[in-house]
Amino acid sequence: MQPASKVICLGEALVDRLGPLGGDPATATADQCDDRLGGAPANVACALARLGTPSAFVGRLGRDSIGESFQQLMANRGVELAGLQRDVTRPSRVVLVRRHADGERVFQGFAGDQGQGFSDQALDQAELEQAWPALAAQAQWLLVGTIPMATAASAASLRWAVSQAKAAGVRIALDVNWRPTFWDVSSDPASGPDAAALNVMQPLIAAASLLKLAKEEALWLFGSADPSAISAGLPQAPDVVVTDGGNPVQWSLGGASGVLEALAPPQVVDTTGAGDAFSSGLLHQLVQGAMPPEQMLRFAAACGALVCGGAGAIDPQPDAAAVQRFLQR
């Protein structure tokens, strides 16, 4: 039997269609693109399992080849799938990812919609309610992002899960993961949230015990990238981590604060999923407990660095031994 999950990861699982370096995945041929399983909550669930922290994934996939691939991958990783839903009418989502020559990526749109949207948008609250007691029995954390808030059904399911977690003493980890194209496919991929999106996000921010933001997200939401100031400005005074690509990580954890220099990856093939690997490393250490914040964050940074060395978000994820070897070197 699988050990009871310590971290529940709720949200999207999808395919990142990586275009040719410098090219456009929307017009490239199939042999020029690289399809990789991804989606931030799915990435974190898989990474946690590989690190040795029992995890569960809650999300909805189509009854298609993508859904089958995800189910097999997560089962092989040891991710608890009692909360995985399958949709007979809506397909799994394919995200078109434009890659620059330096490995940086831009989410530019979607493929596969057959007129009813994508399966991840239809996460069903009734199905979630049935699965929840077993999922949450020994959970310490619920990891969520903002993408499910872009659609009514998935937003309602996410809000319900957050309320149940809070009532049971399960802490909320929010990785903002702002992606404007999920809210409006015609929006500029570099644009920030509008007033309506900011309003929808506020209850999640207010519920979070751990808040992870990219620097630009921190500036959009709080007008500051200082984690201590962000934490002090919120009534629950959450732990806050602000990442900035390859630049230093700023953090405020457990009343302490500091700056962590970025760890250079062995090589940069693709930065997709590096932030999710960072989140998994940090949650892994928080579940373990009794470790200084600097060590937890250094472990998390190593997870992110190692993922950059391979294509896609999931395949290059390291186990704990690989992270320790990297840190020792």
Contact yes or no for 55/149 (Cβ under 8 A):
no
Tokens of 33: 């693109």
Mean pLDDT across the chain, nearest whole number? 93
Q: Is 228's pLDDT higher than 70?
A: yes
Please report, for the chain, the start and end positions of each structural domain, with discontinuous segments joined by +.
7-328
CA atoms within 13 A on the CB side of 185: 10
What average pLDDT does the segment 218-243 reach? 97
pLDDT attached to residue 154: 98
Q: Domain 7-328 sits in which CATH superfamily?
A: Ribokinase (3.40.1190.20)
Query: If you search the block for the tokens 């959450």, which residue do you land on?
Result: 238
Of 87, 97, 76, 67, the closest CA to residue 154 belongs to 87
What average pLDDT does the segment 272-285 reach? 95
pLDDT attached to residue 102: 66
Report pLDDT digits (tens) over 121-167: 999 999 999 999 999 999 999 999 999 999 999 999 999 999 999 99
What average pLDDT does the segment 18-32 reach? 81
pLDDT attached to residue 105: 72
pLDDT attached to residue 227: 98
